[in-house]
Every structure is written in structure tokens, then in C-alpha cells.
Amino acid sequence: MLLQSIAGVPVQTVMDDYLLSNTYLEATNQRTLAQITGALGPQAAANLTPVLGVDQSFLQAGLDQITETYGTFDKYLTEGLGLSEETIDALKDKLVD
């Protein structure tokens, strides 16, 4: 998310990519849940299911907090993360053709 945003990727595209994690991890997560069910029972698997996936509200909460605390993503990068403009520009140059 950070690198995509620095590269100028629209927020909706970042969100869409984030949510694709559920698709790409589905088979792995099903195997993991089967192992947990076998070892610890179905309730343990049910309890852990939410942490194996992603939810739009998770990323949205982070974005909302950035906006509330820093006002803009650029201020988050400089004030929140302490990145210099030079570092941000260097990252952009490496990420964008």
C-alpha cells in the first residue's frame, strides 16, 4: 500500500489489489484451517478464520487514521514515517518508469 501510493496508484486500485489477497490465499488458508481443525478442533479454526484473510474495513481504517492524524498521505510519509522528500522522490523514480 505504501509503495503503491508513493507510485501514484489510485486508492481504489490499492484497495482492489489488497482484496485480491483473499483470492490468492484461499487454497493455502483452507489447508491451514483444515490442519487447525484437525489439531485443535473446529472452534479454533473458526476463531482464526478472520486473521487469515483481509477485509476492506481493515485497510480503510488505516487510511482513515492517516487522514485524521496527518491530513494527507504525503504528510504521513514525511511527518509520520519521517521520510525525506528526497527519499520519496527516489522511491518514485524506482517505482515508476
pLDDT at 97: 78
Q: Which three cell numbers stand for residue 9?
A: 496508484
DSSP conformation letters of 17-61? HHHHHHHHHHHHHHHHHHHHHHHH-HHHHHHHHHHHS--HHHHHH
pLDDT digits (tens, 9 = 90+) for 20-73: 999 999 999 999 999 999 999 999 999 999 999 999 999 999 999 999 999 999
Prediction pTM value: 0.77
Q: C-alpha grid cell for residue 23?
A: 483470492
First to last CA, the chain: 18
pLDDT at 78: 98
